[in-house]
Amino acid sequence: MKYRTITLAAVALFLSMSFLASAVVAAEKDAITMKNGKMWTVHAGKEVGPIDRETTLSNGTKVMMNGKIVTKDGNVTQLQEGQTIMLDGKMMEGKSK
């Protein structure tokens, strides 16, 4: 009986951790990318559509419709074709998928 309880607890823990991990992985694939000179929203790794307004990321960085990025401390950069910025403000090189 004790072995069965331990096994059930281990399975329940594994399942709950896998559901939590899925949500974290999906969130890590949410971003904004520059494609064909336009800024696109990426959700769960797939391009959803062009952004239609300035977007503020979780770290306070602002992404403009023209690809200009203004960090919370005022530094300004320009997103280039193929570059992606995650919603937490981390820059990624290459195409988002």
Angle at 49 between CA 47 and CA 50, to 5 degrees: 120
Q: Tell me how many domains the chain contains.
A: 1
Nearest to residue 69, comparing CAs of 97, 95, 31, 42? 31
User: Is residue 97 in a domain?
Assistant: no
In this predicted structure, what is the pLDDT of residue 61?
Answer: 96
Quote the pLDDT of residue 16.
61
The residue whose two tokens read 């959700």 is 43
Q: How many residues does the chain have?
A: 97
Structural domain including 52 reads 2-92
pLDDT at 85: 94
The pLDDT value recorded for residue 21 is 43
Residue 54 inside a domain? The answer is yes
| Torsion angles phi and psi, residue 11, rounded to 5 | -65, -45
Per-10-residue mean pLDDT of the chain, 97 residues long, equals 73 58 52 93 90 94 96 94 92 62
**Per the domain annotation, does 38 fall within a domain?**
yes
pLDDT value at residue 94:
60
